């Protein structure tokens, strides 16, 4: 089934430096995992109206699982644009997909998928996605 167009949060501040590359000169896969966290944090900082108060509350966001699929190689000097969307928004969890678009190659070179869960640190139990976060992520949910 083909997906219809949905809102996409764009984070375009990645430039490949030598420190990001492996022995062969290509971006090491680890960097996409690290960049995934940068994109997620940028999204919530910019799109969640009261994110600081969420951080100060007992509700904590945790990554339950993460997966990356490499689709191409990037090298020194490449500019990478990250495209953030959400899916499977449930009561206590949601999935985040970040597609890394290499501007030189004009294609997606990696896709990361991770599931976020929310836990109340006071009770040590799963809890509902905070309203401020839910309001932000539903606008970027992939439509089918």
The answer, yes or no, to whether residue 2 has pLDDT greater than 60, is no
The chain-wide mean pLDDT, for the chain, equals 94
Q: What residue ranges define each of the domains in the chain, with the CATH number in brackets?
A: 9-140 (3.10.129.10)
What's the token pair of residue 104? 């030189």
pLDDT in tens, 86-141: 999 999 999 999 999 999 999 999 999 999 999 999 999 999 999 999 999 999 99
Q: Residues 35-90: pLDDT tens digits?
A: 999 999 999 999 998 888 888 999 999 999 999 999 999 999 999 999 999 999 99
Q: What is the model's pLDDT at position 5?
A: 59
Q: Which residues of 121-130 are buried (b: 16+ CB within 10 A; e: fewer)?
A: eeeeeebebb
Confirm whether pTM is higher than 0.75: yes
**Total number of residues shown for the chain:** 144
pLDDT at 130: 95
């Amino acid at each position: 089934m083909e997906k219809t167009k949905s809102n996409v949060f764009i984070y375009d501040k990645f430039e490949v430096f030598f420190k990001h590359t492996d022995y062969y000169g290509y971006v090491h896969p680890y960097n996409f995992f690290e960049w995934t966290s940068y994109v997620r944090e940028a999204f919530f900082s910019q799109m969640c109206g009261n994110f600081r108060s969420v951080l100060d509350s007992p509700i904590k966001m945790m990554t339950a699982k993460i997966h990356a699929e490499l689709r191409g190689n990037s090298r020194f000097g490449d500019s990478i644009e990250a495209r953030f969307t959400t899916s499977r928004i449930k009561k206590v969890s949601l999935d985040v997909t970040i597609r890394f678009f290499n501007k030189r190659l004009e294609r997606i070179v990696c896709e990361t998928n991770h599931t976020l869960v929310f836990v109340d640190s006071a009770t040590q139990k799963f809890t509902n996605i905070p309203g401020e976060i839910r309001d932000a992520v539903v606008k970027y949910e992939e439509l089918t």
